[in-house]
Structure 1
Amino acid sequence: MKSSLLWKRVWRHKLFYLFMLPGIVWFFIFSYVPLYGLQVAFRDFTFVGGFTGSPWAGLKYFHQFFDYYQSSAIIRNTIIISLMKLLIGFPMPIILAILLNEVRHVKFKKTIQTLSYLPYFVSWIVVVTLLQRLLSMYGGPVNDLISSMGGEPVQFMNNTTWFYQLIIGSDIWKNIGWNSIIYMAAIAGIDQQLYEAAKIDGASRFRQIWHVTLPGIRNIAVILFILATGSLMSAGFEQLLLLSGPATANIGSVLDVHVITSGIQQGRLSYAAAVGLFQSGIALILIVTVNWIARKVSDVSLF
């Protein structure tokens, strides 16, 4: 009986499920089928033996990672950089969306939106190259400006003093516009009568933002925050690979770079799979934990 009602409901909304089908197929092919390869982390993988023919190794490669003298530093760096990106970067799209919502000049608003979206479509290679040109000690416009004001040129790149600022600043600049889109959509869905009621009660623009806009996007923000916690063990491979150097290796070595270096450059596929599985397992635990806390505190959760 229940199954027949379910299929009737599916048939009634068949167009919506049809639109969902490409996404479901994509996730199945690229997210679920590759799970079969997780067994590589527990085998001495060889291309001749393949997934099932390679000898079983158990937890050998997990032990190798935790016995590695830099493993604690790599985990620490990953958590520090990811936390900074989350705590500093997460509120920025919300702030941008609220500010853009307050702009009444349509052309100016659209111009700012376009300019803030564009960096998202620029690859990290271009972004890092741009930073190198701007911040170079030899002919870089930033250091030229500092010198013209009587200051000494500053070594921004490959400098532990400026490393975190460059990582967080470039990440915010690249993603703030794109991440603000969903908040702009949420703000657009707020009932305008709530703003009218707030105006009648004498609320200022700041009070309207505090009592109408922020509560209106609270659920969306909580859901996105839960999803963002899953990336705490993933600081960003391409950005860290390009911005890190020998001088910043002690604070810039992260799990993403370590996995790719071990698996692709050194050919230690089983070891890289074990580290990647550890990384994914911690991310899953974080999402489940934060989701449980959010459900208890705000009644908003993913599941």
Structure 2
Amino acid sequence: MESFTHSMAEVQPRKSMSFKRLLWKRIWQHKVFYLFMLPGIIWFFIFSYVPLYGIQVAFRNFTFTGGFSGSPWAGLKYFRQFFDYYQATELVRNTIVISLSKLLIGFPMPIILAILLNEVRRVKFKKVVQTLSYLPYFVSWVVVVTLMQRLLTPYGGPLNDLLASLGMERIQFLYNTTWFYPMILGSDVWKNIGWNSIIYMAAIAGIDQQLYEAAKIDGANRFRQMWHVTLPGIRNIAVILFILSVGGLMSAGYEQLLLLNGPATARIGSVLDVHVITSGISGGRLSYAAAVGLFQSIIGLVMILVVNRIAKKYSDVSLF
């Protein structure tokens, strides 16, 4: 019995050593791909993992003289302050409503655009549409909101002038509770649809063309090919991106809401992102802002874990 135990103890290190050698051998074989990954890994390490050290600010009475570790400990003081804040429920509700609306409406739009562009056979027209749909992504929200103000203003705006020429009443599109959500969702989709469709177009380009040929032989028309070949071909990518998108459910977008929200729409347009920035930078309450930001991150992490588990159970596709 002792000899058997001794032999098993020798086998375990041998297995671990062979696994390590095999792992390093595979890494060396694919070293070019790992070199491509290196800048992304460095970026995430510097801007996503190193700043985690500053999380402790949410649990301290932060002062510039004391720094991160020298400031006095406050525990859950600032979390309680936020939950006792009279607008806390309103901020959370507005953030979830806007983020969920963007997710439900904005998430399928890039998929639809990618599929439609894939069906276009005229290359020049396809490139023009792609370019026009990508460009808004590179325009800042300041410029986008300025354009919206110029186009939609009831005092000389082209759209309202057109309505007036048709005998219709002029409409106050911006800073109006009736049109607030349509303006938020419409501008967000317009700005991001082209850029977000790139990864779906890449996934469609990777689908085996023999599947389309087989579908044609079976008598499938263009719609049937799209439904039975294209959509299943990008399903895994769509599920993964959906899981990642759910993680931003507590983040409605800082710049857009800061610029498009006003006193008239504050009741439905005040969100956590703007509250964190104004509290931390304008109000100088860094510990309080860090606590609210950490609350957002924790909810986002929980949502990713829950949705990832559901996706893994029902579709066999998950992040981990």
Q: Is 1:81 equivalent to 2:98 in the alignment? A: yes
> 1:194 and 1:22 mapped to 2: Cα distance?
36
Give matches, 1:42-121, under 5 Å.
42-121=59-138
Deviation (angstroms), 1:9: 2.1
Q: Give me the whole-angstrom Cα distance separating, in 1, the residues matched to 2:180 and 2:203.
A: 34
* 1:188 and 2:188 correspond: no
Does residue 307 of structure 2 align to residue 301 of structure 1?
A: no
Deviation at 1:18, TM superposition (A): 1.6
Report the Cα distance in structure 2 between the residues aligned to 1:16 and 1:212, rounded to whole angstroms: 29
The 5-angstrom pairing of residues 156-175 of structure 1 reads: 156-175=173-192
Aligned to 1:239: 256
User: Cα deviation per residue 1:157-196 (whole Å; 9 max; x = unaligned)?
Assistant: 1000000000000000000000000010111111111111
Deviation track 1:121-155 (CA, whole Å, cap 9, x = no partner) reads 00000000000000001100010001000011111
1:161 is paired with a residue of what secondary structure? coil
Deviations 1:79-133 (A, max 9, x none): 0000000000100000000000000011001000000000000000000000000
Deviation at 1:32, TM superposition (A): 0.4
Q: Which residue of 2 aligns with 1:125?
A: 142
User: For each residue in 1:234-270, what CA deviation from the matched residue of structure 2 results, as whole angstroms up to 9, or x when unmatched?
Assistant: 0000000000000000000011000000000000000
Please report how far the alpha carbon of residue 38 of structure 1 lies from its aligned counterpart in structure 2 after TM superposition: 0.3
Structure 1 unaligned runs (5+)? none
Equivalent residue, structure 1, for 2:9: none
Aligned to 2:240: 223
What is the letter of the counterpart of residue 73 of structure 1? E
1:280 counterpart (280, 297, 301): 297
Helix, strand or coil: the match of 1:302? coil
1:8 deviation in Å? 2.1
User: Separation in 2 of the partners of 1:88 and 1:262?
Assistant: 30
Q: Secondary structure at the match of 1:72?
A: helix
SS at match of 2:184: helix
Provide the residue aligned with 1:7 in structure 2.
Answer: 24
**Paired position in structure 1 for 2:165:** 148
Q: Deviations over 1:50-101 (max 9, x none)?
A: 0111100000000000000000000000000000000001000000000000
- Structure-1 separation of matches of 2:30 and 2:114: 33
The TM-score with structure 1 as length reference comes to 0.99
Offset, 1:11: 2.0
What is the aligned partner in structure 2 of residue 177 from structure 1? Answer: 194
Kindly state the Cα deviation for residue 13 of structure 1 after the two structures are TM-superposed. Answer: 1.9
Which protein shows a greater Rg?
2
Q: Whole-Å Cα distance in 2 between the matches of residues 253 and 271 of structure 1?
A: 17
Count matched residues.
303
CA distance in 1, matches of 2:232, 2:148: 38
Partners of 2:163 and 2:123 in 1: CA distance: 37
Query: Structure 1: which 4+ aligned runs deviate by more than 6 Å?
Result: none
Q: Does 1:253 align with 2:270?
A: yes
Equivalent residues in 2 for 1:199-214, closer than 5 Å:
199-214=216-231
The residue aligned with 2:285 is 268
Counterparts of 1:173 and 1:19 in 2: how far apart (Å)?
31
Using the aligned pairs only, state the percent identity.
Answer: 81
Displacement of 1:12 after TM fit?
A: 2.1
Q: How does 1:9-28 map to 2 (within 5 A)?
A: 9-28=26-45
Q: Which amino acid aligns with 2:305?
A: V
Deviates further, 186-195 or 272-281: 186-195
Q: 3-state SS of the aligned residue for 2:83?
A: helix
Question: What SS does the aligned partner of 1:75 have?
Answer: helix
Q: Which amino acid aligns with 2:51?
A: P
> Which one-letter code corresponds to 2:41 in the other structure?
I
In structure 1, what is the Cα distance between the partners aligned to 2:309 and 2:87? 33
Aligned equivalents of 2:133, 2:110: Cα separation in 1? 10
Q: Which amino acid aligns with 2:50?
A: V
